[in-house]
Chains A and B, each alone.
Chain A
Amino acid sequence: MASSTNTQNAEPLRRDDSTVLSRIADNPWPAARWVAVMGVLVLLELGALLGGFLNVVEALLIAVTGLAEVTVGLVSSSLAAGILGFQQSAASTLSGLRADTEGIPTLLSRDVIPNQGYQPGGTGAWEGPFLGLEPAYAWALRLVLVLAYALVLSYWLFRGWLVFREHYRQMEWSPTDDVVDKLRTHRWGQFGIVILVLFLTMGLFGPAMGPTTVEQNILSPYTEDSRIEYYNAESGSVETVFAGEANFNAKSIGSQDSNVGPMTYDDYGRFHPFGTLTNGRDLFTFMMGGARISLIVTGIAIGLGTLLAGGLAMVSAFYRGSIDLGVLTLADGIVSVPRLLLLIMVSAVFANTWLGNILDGGFLLAVVFGLTIWPFLWRAVRGPALQVAQEAWVDAAKSFGQQPSIIMRKHMFPYIMGYLLIYASMSAGGIIISLSALSFLGNGLGISPPTPAWGRAVSLGQGLVSGPSWHISFIPGAMIVLLVTGMNAFGDGIRDAIDPESDTGEGGETTAAGGGG
């Protein structure tokens, strides 16, 4: 079946080193079809995609240069200052670029499908929202379209791999195929992937998903740009007001007459899908704004932790002996430091320094989390790494003089990557919760206000859970639970997919292998 479409099989093996490009040139149609659809998808949301991409690049740049600065700073402060300078200029260039991308029209933006407006005369058609719809419907339409777009885009990326696999890959079969095929029948794991995609969508398209913008509603509600029009029933006319002023009259503080609950409008005709916060800000917008920073901080933390854990696990397993013991001692030392204490100390020391201000304090948190979480991951993957290091193919590579670094990368890493993914996805949940908990504790910990952070919403509504303003704590809490559950589901899916025994039906062996993992 595959051979009829796979030109590679029909011909004798080529002696030339054919590249993917040359294979595409030979059989361009499948690739062309895929690229065409992908192109349309990207064009639709070019601005948002570029913006999100630049955001990630910026975070990475800051992470890398920040770490370099700190390390180099130990040796030479002038060099460190140089790195700092580079970082600042690069970051400002990136911010400029990002501002430019905001000018690129995107289809699923609030300009195309606006949802804010007023009813001239208090009833009838709405002035402002898309097609004169009620703001709730206009917003819901945009939200659904954005989510659908994200899901389609993710699927299409996966589809790209399928096209490659079927038409352009020289290998008819690869071990990855098995993993993917198993994931395709793993409902629980797919649930995890969908949740992950949804939250990533919030991070990427968050600005378009909220009923209003973080800028207007939260960060600078008293600027001229932040004026909104509404129908004043008392005067019977359409008036304008600062968003901040409107917020002031839309607080949810737990009493019946001062509460804007989920799926309701406030007095200014603004729709609040998740209700408002105690200060009248829109909770949904707040959550969307928080998604980006929460995900970036979690991403940096878990990336750093995984990198350290994976690298050190391989070094431990490959060299064993005193090196292994050294890493173990280091890990134990780090574990013995209470993380909260460390976070408080670091936050205090770096408060109001440039390092403490990157990503509104989130960068420092991410680094502390990354540096303190790796021992747990390391312990989890050291076993598998030791096992791989025992395999004869590692000996074979040593016997022809392969460099240790390449042995670790080619012959060990692929086998522990699955475990790393599993444990990383599971500890990511913990990091998200801890991050939220930190914002919850407040007092200069966590991401500094007014930048939205999920935990802060939980903490703001803490005292109001039993009253009409229950939504302030409950909804962010539930979302965190959902994300953590999704992460765990994803980890479970990966675990089952990489377990070679999981579909053989040999019950005993399956459990044995599962227990070993």
Chain B
Amino acid sequence: MSKVTERTQTEGGRETLVSVENLKKYYGGEGMFADPPVKAVDDVSFEIRRGETFGLVGESGSGKSTLGRTLVQLERATEGRVLFDGRDVTTLSGDELKQWRRNAQMVFQDPESSLNDRMTIGEIIMEPLSAHGWKTKQDRRERALELLSEVGLQEEHYYRYPHQFSGGQRQRIGIARALALEPEFVVLDEPVSALDVSVQAKIITLLEDLQAEFDLTYLFIAHDLSVIRHICDRVAVMYLGKIMELGETGELFESPANPYTQSLLSAIPRPDPTADRQRITLPGTPPSPRDPPVGCQFSTRCPAKIYPEEYDDLSDDVWDAIERFREVVRERSRQELGLVDQARLRLGLFSKYDDIDEAVADLFGGLDAPEAVTDAIESAREQVKAGNPDAAREALFDEFNGICDRERPVLQGVSDSGQQSYCHRHAPEYEPPETVLQRRSDDE
């Protein structure tokens, strides 16, 4: 870890601007009877260097937007620190916070909602300046006009209302507003994903030009890998509130280390068709952030998951069926039973979960599973039918838990250039992810 940190400071001569340390953002979960909290961002650490574009990619619900919002203090961190130029900004409040806000601005995803329709463009762009009592009204006006031309709009747009603009133009206005206070750091929260493809490229170019002109540092949030690849210097891949992999963009795209990144990248068309990487389709859906896996966040869907040694000989198909079955049981255990169902349960009339039979038949029908497996599945099935999916879930966990189920991996360096990945398979005793994925996909 320390080795990696050292390198980030020397390499390219770029110093750290934003340093995120063990940041957590949980929603809800306070009070004795509350549901468990939603862990939107769950213990994340990384650094953003001055002048770079740091990409943050992930599916919706991965916590990437929450992370971005927490960095600009739109959300209060539950735990952890955000050091901006070495200063912890999560503890700022009042005037100090307001002063600091000048340094960190945000561009929002939806250009329809990010501008107040009842204000003219001039008013919108001037507002941050007025809020900070920036010079005189005359100067603010000049600055707004200047910003309009910086973002490729005309001066006569000053007196128009947002309704009179297209999505791309509105996004330009949003960018002008974010730049008004001359921030060092700008969070771009999916700035182009709501726009037409033809407009996307123009906005990206504009952002790049502005970065060069004003020495901006970007955090670029996206779910679209191709955009990230184009604009970002370094990328972090998020899944369920956790950074799965982080590294230089080129390297990460060329040789992804983490199974999650590999499956993501396998989905985008590759420039080099001879490279034999097969498309990996992830089974199932991401688990609820209220109830994340105990071990690796990706363990419920990971195609490279480490299985327990006792079951070394199981075929991939059987494993797949087991994992899907566990997912079904997990779903059941999350449901709250209504009063009627609880009464039925007491009376032995409970039948709500009888469809578990079908699931078992679907998943294991035609599979040649060893007895130990079928026994475990059978008893879990019984327990679910008896209205006790929690116990079934526990039992399945005990029976099939490998290290991925039990323990959280650590984000560790996997290359000389600072690439880091969050996976048990990088430990020497396990087969590395790429070979496993290669083998498992070849088997199909």
Interface residues in chain A, defined as those with a beta carbon under 8 Å from any beta carbon in chain B: 8, 12-13, 15-17, 170-175, 391-393, 395-403, 406, 410-411, 414-415
B366 to chain A, nearest CB (A): 47
In the complex, per-residue mask of B185-217: 1 if CB is within 8 Å of any chain A CB, else 0: 000000000000000000000000000000000
Question: Does B155 lie at the interface of the complex (its beta carbon under 8 Å from any beta carbon of A)?
Answer: yes
- 17 residue pairs from A and B, CB less than 8 Å apart: A13-B155, A13-B156, A15-B145, A17-B138, A171-B159, A171-B161, A172-B159, A173-B160, A174-B161, A175-B118, A396-B108, A396-B114, A397-B127, A399-B101, A400-B101, A403-B131, A414-B118
- Nearest 7 Cβ contacts at the A-B interface: A401-B98, A400-B128, A401-B101, A392-B114, A392-B113, A414-B118, A392-B108
CA distance A444 to B150 in the complex (A): 70
CA distance A395 to B104 in the complex (A): 13
CA distance A12 to B154 in the complex (A): 11
Are B106 and A171 neighbours in the complex by a CB distance under 8 Å?
no
Interface residues in chain B, defined as those with a beta carbon under 8 Å from any beta carbon in chain A: 69, 72-74, 97-99, 101-102, 104-106, 108-110, 113-120, 127-128, 131-132, 137-138, 141-142, 145, 155-156, 158-161, 163-164, 174, 177, 180-181
Among candidates A172, A392, A398, residue contacting B109 with C-beta atoms closer than 8 Å:
A392
Which residues on the A side are within 8 Å of B163 (C-beta)? 173, 175
Which of A391, A392, A398 has the most chain B CB atoms closer than 10 A to its own CB?
A392
A417 to chain B, nearest CB (A): 10
A271 to chain B, nearest CB (A): 52
Which residues on the A side are within 8 Å of B120 (C-beta)? 171, 174
Closest to A400 in B: B128
Additional A-B contact list (11), CB under 8 Å, known A13-B145, A172-B159, A391-B116:
A8-B159, A15-B141, A170-B159, A172-B160, A395-B108, A399-B74, A400-B180, A400-B181, A401-B102, A402-B127, A411-B116
Are B155 and A399 neighbours in the complex by a CB distance under 8 Å?
no
Are B131 and A402 neighbours in the complex by a CB distance under 8 Å?
yes
Are A410 and B119 neighbours in the complex by a CB distance under 8 Å?
yes
B72 to chain A, nearest CB (A): 5
Closest to A9 in B: B156
B178 to chain A, nearest CB (A): 8
Which residues on the A side are within 8 Å of B177 (C-beta)? 396, 400
Which residues on the A side are within 8 Å of B145 (C-beta)? 13, 15
Are A395 and B74 neighbours in the complex by a CB distance under 8 Å?
yes
Among candidates A12, A17, A393, A400, residue contacting B116 with C-beta atoms closer than 8 Å:
A393
B384 to chain A, nearest CB (A): 38
Which residues on the B side are within 8 Å of A391 (C-beta)? 113, 116
B200 to chain A, nearest CB (A): 19
Which residues on the B side are within 8 Å of A411 (C-beta)? 116
Which of A174, A399, A411 has the most chain B CB atoms closer than 10 A to its own CB?
A399
Are B131 and A396 neighbours in the complex by a CB distance under 8 Å?
no
B212 to chain A, nearest CB (A): 23
B18 to chain A, nearest CB (A): 15
Closest to A403 in B: B131
B409 to chain A, nearest CB (A): 34
Among candidates A17, A395, A400, residue contacting B137 with C-beta atoms closer than 8 Å:
A17
Among candidates A172, A393, A398, residue contacting B114 with C-beta atoms closer than 8 Å:
A393
B275 to chain A, nearest CB (A): 40
Q: How many A-B residue pairs have CB under 8 A?
A: 90
Which residues on the A side are within 8 Å of B174 (C-beta)? 396
A208 to chain B, nearest CB (A): 40
A396 to chain B, nearest CB (A): 6
Contact status of A15 and B131, CB under 8 A, knowing A173-B164, A395-B74, A398-B74: no
Closest to B111 in A: A392
B417 to chain A, nearest CB (A): 33
Closest to A399 in B: B106
A386 to chain B, nearest CB (A): 15
CA distance A202 to B193 in the complex (A): 58
CA distance A410 to B124 in the complex (A): 11
Are A401 and B97 neighbours in the complex by a CB distance under 8 Å?
yes
Among candidates A16, A17, A399, A403, residue contacting B105 with C-beta atoms closer than 8 Å:
A399
CA distance A170 to B156 in the complex (A): 10
Which residues on the A side are within 8 Å of B155 (C-beta)? 12-13
CA distance A393 to B124 in the complex (A): 10
Are B181 and A171 neighbours in the complex by a CB distance under 8 Å?
no
Which residues on the B side are within 8 Å of A15 (C-beta)? 141-142, 145
CA distance A402 to B98 in the complex (A): 8
Which residues on the A side are within 8 Å of B131 (C-beta)? 397, 400-403, 406
Closest to B124 in A: A393
Which of B97, B102, B128, B159 has the most chain A CB atoms closer than 10 A to its own CB?
B159
Are A400 and B132 neighbours in the complex by a CB distance under 8 Å?
yes
Are A13 and B158 neighbours in the complex by a CB distance under 8 Å?
yes
Are B141 and A17 neighbours in the complex by a CB distance under 8 Å?
yes
Are B159 and A175 neighbours in the complex by a CB distance under 8 Å?
no
CA distance A322 to B142 in the complex (A): 43
Which residues on the B side are within 8 Å of A13 (C-beta)? 145, 155-156, 158-159
Are B101 and A175 neighbours in the complex by a CB distance under 8 Å?
no
Which residues on the A side are within 8 Å of B109 (C-beta)? 392
Closest to A12 in B: B155
Closest to B110 in A: A392
Among candidates A12, A170, A399, A415, residue contacting B118 with C-beta atoms closer than 8 Å:
A415
A6 to chain B, nearest CB (A): 11
Are B118 and A400 neighbours in the complex by a CB distance under 8 Å?
no
Which residues on the B side are within 8 Å of A170 (C-beta)? 159
CA distance A415 to B119 in the complex (A): 12
Which residues on the A side are within 8 Å of B69 (C-beta)? 395
CA distance A12 to B158 in the complex (A): 12
A262 to chain B, nearest CB (A): 49
CA distance A17 to B118 in the complex (A): 20
CA distance A400 to B183 in the complex (A): 10
Which residues on the B side are within 8 Å of A396 (C-beta)? 106, 108, 114, 174, 177
B180 to chain A, nearest CB (A): 8
Closest to A388 in B: B116
Which residues on the A side are within 8 Å of B137 (C-beta)? 17
CA distance A205 to B42 in the complex (A): 69
Closest to B69 in A: A395
Are B117 and A175 neighbours in the complex by a CB distance under 8 Å?
yes
Which residues on the A side are within 8 Å of B72 (C-beta)? 399
A14 to chain B, nearest CB (A): 10
Among candidates B119, B158, B161, B180, residue contacting A173 with C-beta atoms closer than 8 Å:
B161
Are B115 and A393 neighbours in the complex by a CB distance under 8 Å?
yes
Which residues on the A side are within 8 Å of B106 (C-beta)? 395-396, 399
Which residues on the A side are within 8 Å of B101 (C-beta)? 399-401
B147 to chain A, nearest CB (A): 14
B126 to chain A, nearest CB (A): 11
A301 to chain B, nearest CB (A): 28
CA distance A60 to B127 in the complex (A): 33
